[in-house]
Amino acid sequence: MDATHATLTPQQPSPLTASLEDYLETIKMLIDEDPHGHAHTSTIAKRLNVKMPSVTNALGVLHRNGYIHYDTNYPVTLTPLGEHTAKRILRRHHVLSNFLEDILQMKTEEASELACKIEHVISDNFILRLELLSSAITSSDNATELLKRMKQLN
């Protein structure tokens, strides 16, 4: 691995914007889908429906803050910090989507879109509490009527 692929380990990475979190989340999903374990800038642009200069700018920021390995001549890969952060973002999205879909009985597409907006502004503590609440509701016999009434709102 050459110097351009060296892992950056900043003392304190800059907080990520919602947009940068979306890039990191997308990179993680593309890496997981790719048999070689990396993402290409053109695929990132297509998945996020953005132009290449936007991708290049975002990847530069993520690279400088130690979240990804990025060089214009190589595919994008995650650093350990990037992997950890992306998994955290994906978990938030998953928990929120499940709550919105399973408990609030929202349609899948609407639940996913709303989860994508909310995931950037909530804490991990909130996600843990939401997960516990969801589990309690879905395992309760008393919740059956509530879930039926929620579904009627669609």
- pLDDT tens profile 109-136: 999 999 999 999 999 999 999 999 998 8
User: What pLDDT is stored for residue 151 in this prediction?
Assistant: 77
Q: Give this prediction's pTM.
A: 0.81
Q: Which residues of the chain have pLDDT under 70?
A: 1-14
> In angstroms, how far is CA 119 from the centroid of its own chain?
8
Q: Is 34 helix (H, G, I), strand (E, B) or coil?
A: coil
pLDDT at 82: 97
Residue linked to tokens 């642009």 = 45
Distance, first Cα to last Cα, the chain: 53
